Amino acid sequence: MQTIVIALKDLQILFKDRGALLLLFLLPLVFIVVFSGALAAIGDVEPQDSRILLAVVDLDGAEAAHKLIDDIEAAGGVRVELYSDQEAAAQLDEGGLKRVLTIPSGFSAHLEDGQQVTLSLRSHPDADSQESEAIWLIIEGVARDMALERHIFASLQQMGEMQADAPEGAQVFSIERSMAQARSQFESAEEQPLIEIVQRLPNTSAEESEEMPEGIQLAVSGFTVLFIFLLAQTTARSIFDEKKAGSFRRLMAAPMSKASLLSGKMLPNFLTALFQAAVIFAFALIGMRLLGLTPLSLGDNPWLVALIVVVIAICSVCLGILIAALARTESQIGGLSGLLLWGMAILGGSFIPLFILEQFLGPLPKVVPHYWGNSALNDVLVRGLGPAEVATELLVLLGFAAAFLIFGLWRFEFD
């Protein structure tokens, strides 16, 4: 009962402070709108084409030349762009183009007649030799396939001509039927090749290949963690104000235990954290939709999101006890809180998504509780994972809470 009386008094004081209310309930919504829009804009940026550019001068313009160009681009790794002969030569000399493939005039006709044709691949002196070698191998492979296809057609045609004088009953297939069958087989081989090659590159993970998550999912996760932990400063300041006014000493003289006293100082900020999270999630679910923006999706386990928020709130109020124990003056509370809470938020992924942050800092963000709070919310809201997958994050957060509380009580001065 005494704990509840102290908690109600602190809640009344808190909700009379308009500045604190704006900080606790309005500022998170502004952050979410701004950062979700920024993250969505980053996700909408189309990735750059990493294929090697190959300039092609098509002096033939017939069917075989078009097929050669299409097959080179379909082989993968090469982006074909068409140029005129004069433009390609000028840019190659200036270094604007690194490689130019020239298809000579009469290419299709000579190929049809079985005559040898020559493709010209010119490279700039500064061109990367490995890229040039890769392009040459692709062109050679495509050209060999086209030549083989042409040889097979020519062989079928010759076989048809050889049996033209045979009795009608001995002519099993006509030339036209054999050619049609061969073309059908080539088309089938292109659509469903007998051998498929899959390349696995080193140092790539599944996360790097995933699409950018929705900005609202990341923003809500990050700023829920940030602003719940900012309440640790409110807990510490509430205790300091009691000591400064002398009311803390009178409470100590009252017939109540130290546990009840500290519980009464922790409970209001724990409840405020839950209410703050409820406002954030309600705005993300309903307010964002009313603003014409992408709303939040809670996934299949909304109760798990609530559990994570409760654990983060417990960790926050325990951290507030530690700050109150370490700080001796009002300025120390402000400075220590600013350094700890904002620094840990930046390091723990509240501003920069964890999958980006870990690429630069490695395991370093794991030393702060914000990381585990963000990781747990990301697992549920972004990846759609369940209780078993976030159990580790919840246990680590409870471990941080226990450490903060034990060390805070050890250093706390009740005088």
- For 71-80, how does the pLDDT look when each residue is reduced to its tens digit (9 = 90+)? 888 887 888 9
Buried b (16+ CB within 10 A) or exposed e, 70-95: ebbbeeeebebeebeeeebbebbeee
Query: How many residues does this entry show for the chain?
Result: 415
The enclosing H or E element of 381 equals helix 369-381
Q: Please state, rounded to an integer, the average pLDDT across all residues of the chain.
A: 81
* Residue 202 is assigned to a structural domain of this protein: no
Residue 266 belongs to a domain = yes
308 and 191 in a single domain? The answer is no
- 282's CB contacts (< 8 A; 6+ apart) are none
Both 76 and 24 in one domain: the answer is no
Q: What percent of the chain has pLDDT over 70?
A: 76
Residues 153, 29 share a domain: no
DSSP string, 32-92: HHHHHHHHHHHHHSPPP--SEEEEEEESS-SHHHHHHHHHHHHTSSEEEEE--HHHHHHHH
The CATH number of the domain holding residue 68 is 3.40.1710
Residue 379 — pLDDT band, cuts 50, 70, 90? very high
Domains: count for the chain: 2
Please indicate whether residue 238 or residue 183 has the higher confidence score (pLDDT): 238
Same domain, yes or no: 150 and 226: no
272 and 329 fall within a common domain: yes
- Cβ burial, residue 206 (10 Å; 0-12/13-18/19+): exposed
Higher pLDDT pick, 414 / 231: 231
Residue 317: pLDDT band by 50, 70, 90 thresholds? very high
* Domain membership of residue 145 as a residue range: 52-197
Looking at the fold, whether 184 and 333 belong to one and the same domain comes out as: no
The pLDDT-based confidence of 407 (bands split at 50, 70, 90) is very high
Same domain membership, residue 63 and residue 26: no
Residue 274 domain-assigned (yes or no): yes
Q: Which residue has the higher pLDDT, 10 or 390?
A: 390
Regarding whether 228 and 186 lie in a shared domain, the answer is: no
From 142, 172, 197, give the residue that closes a domain.
197
pLDDT score for 343: 93
**What value does the mean pLDDT take over residues 268-296?**
92
Model confidence at 172, pLDDT cuts 50, 70, 90, reads low
Q: Which of 140, 166, 197 is where one domain is finished?
A: 197
Q: Domain for residue 205, yes or no?
A: no
Cβ count near 131 (within 10 Å):
17
pLDDT at residue number 198: 45
318 in a domain, yes or no? yes
- 385 and 357 share a domain? yes
Local confidence band at 46 (pLDDT 50, 70, 90 cut-offs): low
Do 165 and 216 have their domain in common? no
Domain boundary among 136, 167, 197: 197
Most confident among 136-150, 153-167, 178-192 (mean pLDDT): 136-150
Phi, psi dihedrals of residue 58, rounded to the nearest 5°: -100, 100
What lies within 8 Å, CB to CB, of 315 at 6+ separation is: 229, 369, 373, 397, 398, 400, 401, 404
- At residue 113, the 3 state secondary structure works out as coil
> How far is it, in rounded angstroms, from Cα 315 to Cα 213?
27
- With respect to residue 364, please indicate whether it lies within any of the assigned structural domains: yes
Report whether pLDDT(398) > 90: yes
List the 52-58 sheet strands across, edge first: 78-82, 52-58, 99-103, 120-123
**pLDDT at position 1:** 58
Q: Are residues 393 and 372 in contact, defined by beta-carbon separation less than 8 angstroms?
A: yes
Angle formed at CA 122 by CA 120 and CA 125, multiple of 5 degrees: 165
Residue 350 to residue 302: CA distance in whole angstroms:
21
Both tokens assigned to 354: 């964890």
**Contact at 8 Å (CB) between 361 and 371?**
no
Looking at the structure, do residues 318 and 192 belong to the same domain, yes or no? no
Taking phi over 0 as left and psi of -120 to 50 as alpha, with beta for the rest, 157 belongs to: alpha
Model confidence pTM above 0.95: no
pLDDT tens-digit series, residues 240-268: 777 776 666 666 666 666 677 778 878 88
Confidence of residue 333 (pLDDT cuts 50, 70, 90): confident
- Across the range 122-144, mean pLDDT stands at 87
Kindly state whether residue 206 falls inside one of the protein's structural domains.
Answer: no
Please indicate, yes or no, whether residues 221 and 351 belong to a single structural domain of this protein. yes
Q: Which of 148-157, 203-212, 289-298 has the lowest mean pLDDT?
A: 203-212
Residue 316 is assigned to a structural domain of this protein: yes
